[in-house]
Amino acid sequence: MLDYSKILSGTVQGIKPSGIRKFFDLLGDRKDVISLTVGEPDFPTPYHIREAGIENLERGKTHYTSNNGMMELRTEICNYLNRRFHISYNPKNEVIVTVGGSEAIDLAVRAVVEPGDEVIIPQPAFVCYGPIVELAHGVPVYIETKAEDKFKLTPEALRAAITPKTKMLVLPFPNNPTGAVMDREDLEGIAEVLRGTNIVILSDEIYAELTYGFRHTSIASLDGMWERTITVSGFSKAYAMTGWRLGYLCAPAELTVQMHKIHQYAIMCAPTTSQVAAIEALRHGDEDIAMMAAEYNRRRKYIISGLRRMGIDCFEAEGAFYVFPYIGAYGMTSDEFCQRLLDERNVAIVPGNAFGACGEGYARISYAYSVEHIASALEQMERFIKG
């Protein structure tokens, strides 16, 4: 009998399973659950984008592309980032098209982090950063963001977390799960702390198009930040293209040339059909983004108002498609609250501690659902907390 624990890498075995996974396993195949758990758009990919993919398949253009992605796509990505966020990159050597934003995060961490290096990660945050850092034998250093700071990363907290070993700062804003955003002024404070250091920023801007009432600011557009920033984004959230698995990263050529090596050996290139569809999205998708963002915004207002009306303290999330209400006032842990809400009222929301220990007392509620669906979930939640 083989002893697999001796065969497998100790690093991989040491990685904890994702907390969100644990809760989804509980959901299992329960029927008729009113779920507000999903982290992807409910809209289908706009038809003209799908058509571009279909046409590409019909023409049989199904070969590899260049490692970094089709030049046409890289050019469109640069035009788009310049047009919407005022950051400029050279499509020739400062862009890598990746398999989702996730691969881009992995490339950035692996290219920069050496064993023992510290990577600062504000939490609550999407679950992937810490484990990816650990796989690179780095050390995740978590900063708790707080409701009273609107779940923003503060310059004070950042300064306190920096040590001589700090190599990288992850900036996951607009944030999953809190919906927090960092505006220009907030980022200016962060930039001030980083100026004069060698710390690299991994700015995960996958939700950049989903901010409500103002436009997202890319930290790379601030003075002295471009040189140290790896900007990560993708098509999943803005264009409802999750299943196409397409993202990208942009960074100075000195960084991309190294990340390129990992991408080349591990991935080769992102899916060709998805790249063709993405070109269409960038060229003709601005209206789709606006339409979907307007709808999310209406749902956001509706869900926040609904939660507050039943007495739940809900922070004004201004980005992504999640709200992160405080549910600690009901004498239960996040796990207990969500488990009982599921058992007693058939409503599923994700315990906040799945996104870091500091998420305890909170829950993530996705509003990537129809108003009707949200309304029936809220009705059941109200019965639960009043029952």
Residues at the interface with other proteins (CB under 8 A): 24, 27, 35, 37-40, 42, 294, 298-299, 301-302, 305-306, 371-372, 375
Least distance in angstroms from the C-beta of 352 to other proteins: 17
For other proteins, give the closer residue by CB, 38 or 310. 38
Least distance in angstroms from the C-beta of 147 to other proteins: 22
Q: Check: CB of residue 260 under 8 Å from CB of residue 230.
A: no
Report residue 216: phi and psi, to 5°: -65, 145
Least distance in angstroms from the C-beta of 364 to other proteins: 14
For other proteins, give the closer residue by CB, 43 or 326. 43
Instruction: Give the integer Cα–Cα distance in Å for 246 and 103.
Output: 9
For other proteins, give the closer residue by CB, 186 or 288. 288
For other proteins, give the closer residue by CB, 223 or 287. 287
For other proteins, give the closer residue by CB, 52 or 304. 304
Least distance in angstroms from the C-beta of 321 to other proteins: 13
Write a three-state SS string for the chain: CCCHHHHCCHHHHHCCCCHHHHHHHHHCCCCCCEECCCCCCCCCCCHHHHHHHHHHHHCCCCCCCCCCCCHHHHHHHHHHHHHHHCCCCCCCCCEEEECHHHHHHHHHHHHHCCCCCEEEEEECCCCCHHHHHHHCCCEEEEEECCHHHCCCCCHHHHHHHCCCCEEEEEECCCCCCCCCCCCHHHHHHHHHHHCCCCCEEEEECCCCCCECCCCCCCHHHCCCCHHHEEEEEECCCCCCCHHHCCEEEECCHHHHHHHHHHHHHHCCCCCHHHHHHHHHHHHHCHHHHHHHHHHHHHHHHHHHHHHHHCCCECCCCCECCEECCECHHHCCCHHHHHHHHHHHHCEECEEHHHHCHHHCCEEEEECCCCHHHHHHHHHHHHHHHHC
For other proteins, give the closer residue by CB, 102 or 231. 102
Least distance in angstroms from the C-beta of 298 to other proteins: 4
For residues 61, 64, 68, 69, the Cα torsion angle rounded to the nearest 10 degrees is 10
Least distance in angstroms from the C-beta of 24 to other proteins: 4
For other proteins, give the closer residue by CB, 306 or 351. 306
Least distance in angstroms from the C-beta of 378 to other proteins: 11
For other proteins, give the closer residue by CB, 18 or 221. 18
For other proteins, give the closer residue by CB, 228 or 300. 300
Least distance in angstroms from the C-beta of 305 to other proteins: 4
Least distance in angstroms from the C-beta of 207 to other proteins: 17
